[in-house]
Amino acid sequence: MLQSTLSSIREILKAKAKLSNEKTEELLSILSMYNEKDIIYPGVLIRKLNISMKETYSLLEKIKEDGHLSLNYEMYCFSCNQFTGDIFQTIGQIPEEIFCESCGEELTPIDNSIAIYKVKYVK
């Protein structure tokens, strides 16, 4: 991400998040490695920052609200523990019938979708 974007995110986190200065800097360091259209998997932030899933999604939502990220959904097969690679902007875009290419399991939009975030270009 651009330095100006990271500065904006720092201000968002100061104003809206209950994150220590150390965790804020760690998060910004992680985000600095992402470019436009890159996918941010919340699980990466959970592991690297050692914070809860709820806190992670809350942080990402705050950054999204400021226009730096967009919410997307990726299909995940819990039978074989693999992402299918199918990414959708809304739950409604997910076909009613979708199958895991690895194991053939039928997936459902609500049960098999994982919320992920895509980096948006911000000047």
Q: pLDDT per residue over 90-108, tens digit each?
A: 989 999 889 999 999 999 9
* Residue whose C-alpha is closest to residue 102's, from 84, 78, 85: 84
Task: State how far the alpha carbon of 44 is from the alpha carbons of 11, 40, 101, 108, in Å.
Answer: 22, 8, 24, 24
Residue 123 pLDDT: 54
119, containing H or E segment: strand 113-119
Lowest average pLDDT, out of 2-11, 70-79, 85-94, goes to: 2-11
Confidence of residue 122 (pLDDT cuts 50, 70, 90): low
Residues in the chain: 123
Cα–Cα distance for residue pair 50/56, rounded to 1 Å:
10
Backbone φ and ψ for 42, nearest 5 degrees, come out as -55, -35
From the DSSP assignment, how many helices (H) and strands (E) are in the chain?
4, 6
Name the phi and psi angles at 9, rounded to 5. Answer: -65, -40
- The model carries a pTM of 0.85
Tell me the per-residue pLDDT of 28-73, one tens digit each, with 9 for 90 and over. Answer: 999 999 999 999 999 999 999 999 999 999 999 999 999 999 999 9
Q: Give the residue from 60, 24, 87, 63 showing the smallest Cα distance to 112.
A: 87
